[in-house]
Amino acid sequence: MSDTDQDALRHQQDASEHEVFDELPETTTEAIEAAIEPPDNRFIPLRAVEVLRALVGPGAPLEDHKDALTSVFGCLREVIDQEARSFERYLLDRYHPFWPDADTASGPSETPPDEAAFLRALAYLLDKCNCERLSDPQLQNAIDTANMHGLRVEIDNSVVRHLEVFVRGRGTITKRFRSARSPIKGRPREIEVFKRLALIVSFHNDEDVILKLFRDIPLADLEALMPHARLRMNWFDRVKVFGGGAGALGGAAPKLWAVLVGSAALTGGFVWVIVGALFGLSFKSFLGYRNTMKHRVGQRTQHLYYQNLANNAGVITTLLHQVSEEELKEALLAYAFLLNGENRSAVELDDRIERWLLDRLGIDVNFDCPDGLETLDRMGLWRDRETLGVLDPDASCTVLEEHWRHRRSEGYHQSRISSAS
């Protein structure tokens, strides 16, 4: 057995010893965090309008250009929303044959449904949302070492046709876990979470493609999000089930002992007493098993209910709104910091924006400068591309209004997908 396998076995044994009290051991959380590298933090955790206010507010670098930059912001938003609406129609049309919740028929089509093409478009959408795909080894490592708090889950990968998990942003939340020292109230602990997690899954015996979007998912809960996960009882559950059944037999034990001590004959009536006791034990254990599994399913459902943000087509709509916001923030920041003409390179621009976000707003991100510059490229907002000189606000608004009126980049996202195929 390799060192890696021995470590994984030790972490799983550690988790089993703690699951009686629903406590996730430190060694398990460390193993999960090591198995899943932090995703790229390109996401700017502010609304686009809040970024604008920070740029033109009191003491901001562009306070004197408030009205002009606000006009550019509005024009940029209209063009980017136009692109997003067109892309939404494109994605929903291709998702319809695989949409589990569709209440309309697909009808005849010149081309058969192309699941692979839809999945490529969906991966592009998630990348534009600044999400990162968990690699197969990362996902498998997390499934192997993770456990729901108080739950045990088994994964049957043989039924899965396609499975992808995308994440964005790492953070921490505080939860209370029961422990040997605090079995009732529990004790608070900070745990690592993914701020956003998107799940794409399909099965061999079904044409549907299931999409789910969650928030604040602990790294240790990844396996329980899978639709093909099966719950199983932990040791505490087994004690409750069989302990209750043994109690049914225990009630009859004194009477049985009295009969045996009295040297009573093994009559037919006595045999029926034994049979009845054994039947009671079996029936009590069966009911205990069913009730325990119902309780576990209820735990899982309640846990995930509050973390679920959207399902299926709703995931596409939600992500497209986020794409629009991300593109608008990136383009606005790039344009605003290019207005003064102090930048000599894209690298310098990237550094200035990241320092400003940290100093002004306390946000430490890896600004996606290439995306911001690419948006300015397709909008035609350059006065001199070589020196990173942009048009003044009035000229920029004129260009953007013409751009929107003639729908010049309405199919931008579709063309990017086609060129990448």
pLDDT reported for residue 23:
44
| Alpha carbon distance 213, 218 (integer Å) | 14
Asked if 329 and 358 sit in the same domain, the reply is yes
Main-chain phi, psi angles of 23, to 5 degrees:
-100, 130
Do 157 and 77 sit in the same domain of this protein? no
Q: Is residue 303 part of a domain?
A: no
Is 110 within a domain?
no
Angle at 77 between CA 75 and CA 82, to 5 degrees: 100
Does residue 121 lie within any of the structural domains?
no
- Kind of pairing, strands 152-155 and 229-232? antiparallel
CA distances from 344 to 62, 341, 348, 358 (A): 19, 8, 7, 21
Q: Are residues 346 and 334 in the same domain?
A: yes
**Does 417 have pLDDT greater than 80?**
yes
* pLDDT at residue 245 is higher than 60: no
Structural domain that includes position 196: 3-35+130-232
4 confidence band (pLDDT: 50, 70, 90): very low
Do both 209 and 322 map to the same domain? no
Q: pLDDT for 103-139, tens place per residue?
A: 887 777 667 889 999 999 999 999 999 888 988 887 7
Q: Which residue has the tokens 């049914």?
A: 248
Q: 194 - beta bridge partners?
A: 170, 217
Q: How many angstroms separate the first and last alpha carbons of the chain?
A: 42
pLDDT tens, residue by residue, 217-237: 877 677 667 776 666 655 555
Domain check: are 167 and 26 in the same one?
Answer: yes
Average pLDDT in the chain: 78
Token output for 166: 């995308």
Among 232, 249, 266, the domain boundary falls at 232
The total number of structural domains in the chain stands at 3
Residue 378: pLDDT over 90: yes
Lowest mean pLDDT among 180-194, 244-258, 370-384: 244-258
Is 142 found in the same domain as 175? yes
Residue entry with tokens 């709703």 = 314
d(CA 67, CA 47): 19
- What would the two tokens of residue 97 be? 């044959």
Instruction: Please report whether residue 116 resides in a domain.
Output: no
Higher pLDDT, 251 or 401: 401
Same domain flag for 26 and 152:
yes
pLDDT 10s digits, 64-88: 889 999 999 999 999 999 999 999 9
Task: Please list, in sequence order, all residues whose beta carbon lies within 8 angstroms of the beta carbon of residue 135, skipping any fewer than 6 positions away.
Answer: none
Task: Answer yes or no: are the C-beta atoms of 80 and 70 closer than 8 Å.
Answer: no
Q: Which stretch of 54-63, 87-96, 362-371 has the lowest confidence by average pLDDT?
A: 54-63
Residues 19 and 155 in one domain: yes
Residues 162 and 21 in one domain: yes
Task: Confirm whether 390 is domain-assigned.
Answer: yes
In this predicted structure, the answer to whether residue 16 has a pLDDT above a threshold of 50 is no
Same domain assignment for residues 12 and 46: no
The answer to the question of residue 177 being in a domain is: yes
- Same domain, residue pair 253 and 398: no
* Contact in structure between 153 and 147 (CB atoms under 8 Å): yes
pLDDT in tens, 325-336: 999 999 999 999
Same domain, 224 and 242: no
Cα dist from 325 to 22, 64, 124, 401, whole Å: 39, 25, 16, 19
Q: Which of the four pLDDT bands, split at 50, 70 and 90, describes residue 61?
A: confident
35 vs 328, residue with greater confidence: 328
- State the amino acid at position 97 in one-letter form: P
